[in-house]
């Protein structure tokens, strides 16, 4: 099997496009991505916006085998945060990519994101309750 080389995709348009394509492939069936944006035709643009606007301080690497991209990673520096201006730019970019697209129920993106945040909160609460119950029964594992 050929060795895998890791190269920076930061400096070239083609590197960014390759990384966006690889990320779109990797997350094609990701439930969160599919829930936020059911339309697969925008996947590459979504990941391109993610690289540029959600990780403006990050480093993008692409794994290559025999000259073919086989993986991509985004590395943010420790403590990286977005400024208010960067957050506004990111929101504008994702709005352009995702639009105000509605899913089959007519629910728009803002509503889907709000509902998703609520579901995450409820899931964390359920998991915390289950863990507390397991600890009180002495059946919790450290996995």
Strand partners, 75: 59
From first to last of its 143 residues, the chain has per-residue pLDDT tens of 678 889 888 767 888 899 999 999 999 998 888 877 788 888 999 899 888 888 888 899 999 999 899 999 989 889 888 888 888 888 888 878 877 555 555 556 667 666 766 666 666 666 666 666 666 665 555 55
C-alpha torsion sign, points 6, 7, 8, 14: negative
Q: What angle do CA 109, 112, 117 make, to 5 degrees?
A: 125
- Going across the sheet that includes 59-65, the strands are 4-8, 59-65, 68-75
Mark out the alpha helices in the chain (DSSP H runs): 13-26, 31-36, 43-49, 84-98, 109-137
Cα-to-chain-centroid distance, residue 59: 15
C-alpha torsion sign, points 66, 68, 69, 71: negative
């Amino acid at each position: 099997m050929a060795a895998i080389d890791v190269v920076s995709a930061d400096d070239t348009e083609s590197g960014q496009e390759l990384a966006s394509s690889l990320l779109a492939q990797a997350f094609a069936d990701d439930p969160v991505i599919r829930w936020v944006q059911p339309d697969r035709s925008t996947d590459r643009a979504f990941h391109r916006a993610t690289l540029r606007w959600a990780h403006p301080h990050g480093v993008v690497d692409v794994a290559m085998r025999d000259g073919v991209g086989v993986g991509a990673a985004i590395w943010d520096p420790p403590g990286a945060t977005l400024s208010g201006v960067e957050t506004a730019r990111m929101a504008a970019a994702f709005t352009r990519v995702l639009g105000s697209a509605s899913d089959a129920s007519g629910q728009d993106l803002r509503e889907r994101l709000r509902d998703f945040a609520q579901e995450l909160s409820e899931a964390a609460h359920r998991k915390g309750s289950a863990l507390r119950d397991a600890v009180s029964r002495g059946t919790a594992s450290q996995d």
